[in-house]
Homo-oligomer: A and B are copies of this chain.
Amino acid sequence: MSEDELLLEQLFDEEKFTDKQKKIIVAAIESFSEKGYAATSTNEIAKKAGVAEGTIFRHYKTKKELLVSIIAPLMTKLIGPVIVNDFHKVLDHPYENAEDFLRATIENRRVLIKKLLPVIKIMIQEIPFQPELKQQFLDQIAKKVFDRILIVIKGFQDKGQLIEMPPASMARLAVTSIFGYLFSRYIFFPESEWDDELETERTIQFILHGIAK
């Protein structure tokens, strides 16, 4: 529970929730991420949360609203680091090189993904089926984040650190490599032994220099 509480704090710092509401959210996250949204019954969530089924519907008008109000704040949480930190880093330290930037970015994301794992699983599963979430995702995450990344890439290209290539293509290549690593690490094979520092380093070197000798 203490771990869940941490997750909650991470997700909802400022907002005030009643005790029961917190339990509902924790239970919903657990069930949704284990069985999927559609396959989870509100009755099941209620039991796991130790509340009456009606209580869920006092706080969330529908089951879908419960889902959305779990996922939506996550969107904001996930862009935060990109927009605020990274952007400034690059502008404030013009001497900084692409390698350090990548390292910071991956680590940043790694910690976040690790903490928000179950919620991210839900997000991945449900965004394709929930137009509301999809729209939010495209507007808030995809677009905003992508725009920042393009700026950063152009910055490093201008400094001569990166090769010439349309920034959009480069962004795709770098981003999928990073998320390829993070998803392999935390979602596909979380039970394997991982030397995070080493794999992070390999991923960075791969992004920068590829695998050819």
Q: Which residues of B contact A199 (CB under 8 A)?
A: 169
Q: How far is the CB of A186 from chain B (nearest CB, A)?
A: 13
Q: Select one of B121, B183, B203, B207 contacting A211, CB under 8 A.
A: B207
B125 touches A169 (CB 8 A): no
29 intermolecular pairs with C-beta atoms under 8 Å apart = A35-B129, A36-B36, A98-B212, A121-B128, A125-B125, A161-B213, A162-B213, A163-B211, A163-B213, A165-B202, A165-B211, A169-B202, A170-B211, A172-B184, A173-B177, A173-B181, A173-B203, A173-B206, A173-B211, A174-B211, A176-B177, A176-B180, A179-B180, A180-B180, A205-B210, A207-B210, A208-B210, A209-B209, A210-B210
**Majority SS at the chain A contact face:** helix
Q: Which residues of B contact A181 (CB under 8 A)?
A: 172-173, 176
Size category, A interface: 35 or more
Instruction: Please list the residues of chain A having a beta carbon within 8 angstroms of any beta carbon in chain B.
Output: 35-36, 38-39, 98, 121, 125, 128-129, 160-163, 165, 169-170, 172-177, 179-181, 183-184, 199, 202-203, 205-213
Q: Select one of B163, B172, B180 contacting A173, CB under 8 A.
A: B180
Q: How far is the CB of A44 from chain B (nearest CB, A)?
A: 13
